[in-house]
């Protein structure tokens, strides 16, 4: 196997492993605090759809604490090393806010937190 390809695969695995560590830590912390609540749900693979046009947006993971409070998480290794990368991140977060504001009948009183 080509050494560059091997290095690329190892780098990809390392990023994936770090991602899993972050999600697992948040899951453990939040379950320890809120799992006694019958409405608590931790979702590693959330997909939310806008009800009118079926656009999908996908945060990295989400948590429903109770019927009135939830958190969407977006994991970023970097927030862009330059102005364009930073603006791309802000645009992504704004799209989440836009989608959620259009889904108020589903997500009433939700607050969004992003892990950056």
What is the C-alpha to C-alpha distance for residues 94 and 92, in angstroms, rounded to an integer? 5
Give all strands (DSSP E) within 11-100, no chain letters.
Answer: 41-43, 48-49, 56-57, 61-66, 69-73
Examine residue 113 and state whether it is found in any structural domain, yes or no: no
Q: Which domain holds residue 98?
A: 3-102
Tens-digit pLDDT profile for residues 14-70: 989 998 999 999 999 999 999 898 989 999 877 765 555 555 667 788 888 887 888
In-domain check, residue 81:
yes
Whole-prediction pTM: 0.66
Domain assignment of residue 95, yes or no: yes
Does residue 114 belong to any structural domain of this protein? no
């Amino acid at each position: 196997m080509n050494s560059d390809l091997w290095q690329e695969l190892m780098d990809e695995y390392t990023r994936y492993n770090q991602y899993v560590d972050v999600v697992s830590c948040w899951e453990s912390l939040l379950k320890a605090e809120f799992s006694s609540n019958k409405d608590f749900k931790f979702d590693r693979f959330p997909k939310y759809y806008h009800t009118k046009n079926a656009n999908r947006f996908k945060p990295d993971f989400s948590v429903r604490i109770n019927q009135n409070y939830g958190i969407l998480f977006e994991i970023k290794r970097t927030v862009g090393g330059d102005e364009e990368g930073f603006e791309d991140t802000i645009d992504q977060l704004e799209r989440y806010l836009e989608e959620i504001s259009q889904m108020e009948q589903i997500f009433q009183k939700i607050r969004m937190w992003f892990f950056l």
